[in-house]
Amino acid sequence: MPNFNAGDFKKGIKVILDNEPYEMLECNFVKPGKGQALYRTRLRNLLNGKILDRTYRSGESLEAADVHRSEGQYLYRDATGYIFMDNESYEQYSLSEETCGDRTKFLLENATCGLLFWNGQLIEMTPPQHVTMEVTFTEPAARGDTATNVTKPATVETGETVNVPAFVEQGDKIKIDALTGAYVERVRS
């Protein structure tokens, strides 16, 4: 794999550090009064999510990580974890519950997801930005409660709870931001 010299460091590059893939979250150039220029970086481990702060001198380099993104589809969940299919190769990959974390809260079967591979192994899944789900349960709106921004809890198809405006009723379809779990809008059919 090619190397990134310190002068080429920038946000978003993927590098190998201690035999694991990292994504550069920040890179700041520092020129002290005396001595060599420094590059202060913040790196996120793509396998476990830990954040590292490292400083490199100009002239140092890091190996580029063999990381690529692909589009895939969430198929189902089994005892090993969540099963995804790569849309290009049609191969199936499994991710553990710990690796997926909270990203599966609003994930429905057959949903299109972003997949991140390192050395041919699936290491991360990104859910779709917005999902449309049916409200399976919510209390009726309180009569006369017309104050602005009144919200109430609603349960959706996956069993998760979302705060929705008072006018949303059971059976309505709503659009949800899958990363934050926030209500976006009611979907008219």
Q: What are phi and psi of 178, to 5 degrees?
A: -65, -25
pLDDT of residue 32: 86
pLDDT of residue 75: 95
Q: Rounded mean pLDDT of 79-105? A: 90
Higher-pLDDT residue of 32, 176: 176
3-state secondary structure at position 150:
coil
pLDDT of residue 136: 94
Residues 48-63: tens digit of each pLDDT = 889 999 999 988 999 9
User: Is a pLDDT exceeding 70 seen at residue 144?
Assistant: no
Residue 89 CB contacts under 8 Å (≥ 6 apart), including other chains: none
User: Is a pLDDT exceeding 70 seen at residue 1?
Assistant: no
Concatenated DSSP letters of 26-56:
EEEEE--SSS--EEEEEEEETTT--EEEEEE
Torsion of CA 11, 25, 23, 52, to 10 degrees: 140
pLDDT of residue 62: 94
Higher-pLDDT residue of 158, 48: 158
> For residue 122, how far is the Cα from the chain centroid?
14
Domains and CATH numbers, the chain: 3-64 (2.30.30.30), 67-126 (2.40.50.140), 130-187 (2.40.50.140)
Structure tokens at 16: 């190998």
pLDDT of residue 2: 86
Q: Rounded mean pLDDT of 155-173? A: 92
Residue 18 carries which side chain, given as an amino acid letter?
D
> Tokens 């001595």 correspond to what residue?
35
User: Is a pLDDT exceeding 80 seen at residue 45?
Assistant: yes
Strand boundaries in 31-160, DSSP class E: 38-45, 51-57, 61-64, 67-78, 81-86, 92-95, 112-118, 121-126, 130-138, 151-156
Sign of the CA dihedral with 82 first, then 85, 86, and 87 last: negative
Q: Which of 1, 9, 5 is nearest to 25 (CA)?
A: 9
Residues 118-138: tens digit of each pLDDT = 988 999 899 999 999 999 999
**Percent of the chain surpassing pLDDT 70:** 96
